[in-house]
Amino acid sequence: TRPNSAEARDIRYHMHAYTNARKHQETGPLVIEKGDGVYVEDTAGNRYIEAMAGLWSVAVGFSEKRLVNAATKQMSKLPFYHDFGSKAHAPLIDLAEKLVQMAPVPMSKAYFTNSGSEANDTAIKMIWYRSNALGEHARKKIISRTRGYHGVTIASASLTGLPNNHLSFDLPIANILHTSTPHHWRDAQPGESEEQFSTRLAADLENLILAEGPETIAAFIGEPIMGAGGVIVPPAGYWEKIQTVLSKYGILLVADEVICGFGRTGEMFGSQTFNIKPDIIVLSKQISSSYLPISALLINDSVFEPIADESDRIGTFGHGFTGGGHPVAAAVALENIKLIEERDLVGNARKVGAHLQAKLRRLASHPLVGEVRGVGLIAAVELVADKASKAPWGKPAALGTLVNGFLQQNGVISRNMGDAIAFCPPLIITEAQIDTLVDAFERSLDAALPQVHP
Ligand code: PLP
Q: Report ipTM for this prediction.
A: 0.99
How is residue 393 annotated by DSSP? S
Q: Confirm or reject: Cβ of 324 under 6 Å from ligand 1.
A: no
Among 284, 286, 321, the mutation site with the greatest number of ligand 1 atoms within 8 A of its Cβ is 284
For atom 3 of ligand 1, the residue with the nearest CA is: 258
Instruction: Show the DSSP H helices in 134-170 as ranges.
Output: 154-159
Count of other CB atoms within 10 angstroms of residue 181: 19
Q: Confirm or reject: Cβ of 223 under 6 Å from ligand 1.
A: yes
CA nearest to 288, candidates 58, 39, 123:
58
d(CA 109, CA 242): 25
Q: Confirm or reject: Cβ of 150 under 6 Å from ligand 1.
A: yes
Q: Confirm or reject: Cβ of 273 under 6 Å from ligand 1.
A: no
Among 120, 149, 162, the mutation site with the greatest number of ligand 1 atoms within 8 A of its Cβ is 149
In tens, the pLDDT along 356-412 reads 999 999 999 999 999 999 999 999 999 999 999 999 999 999 999 999 999 999 999
- Ligand 1 centroid, distance to 400 Cα (angstroms): 22
- Ligand 1 centroid, distance to 152 Cα (angstroms): 8
- Position 3 scores a pLDDT of 87
For ligand 1, what atom is nearest to the CA of residue 256?
A: 3
What averages of pLDDT result for each successive group of 10 residues across the chain (454 residues)? 91 97 97 98 97 98 98 98 98 98 98 98 98 98 98 98 98 98 98 98 98 98 98 98 98 98 98 98 98 98 98 98 98 99 98 98 98 98 97 97 98 98 98 98 98 96
Q: Confirm or reject: Cβ of 410 under 6 Å from ligand 1.
A: no
Q: What is the pTM of this model?
A: 0.98
For ligand 1, what atom is nearest to the CA of residue 114?
A: 15
- Position 1 scores a pLDDT of 67
3-state class (DSSP) for residue 446: helix
* Burial status of residue 9 (CB atoms within 10 A of its CB: 0-12, 13-18, 19 or more): middle
299 - beta bridge partners?
A: 109, 280
For ligand 1, what atom is nearest to the CA of residue 223?
A: 3
Domains contained in the chain, CATH given: 31-60+344-452 (3.90.1150.10), 67-342 (3.40.640.10)
CB 220 within 8 A of CB 247: no
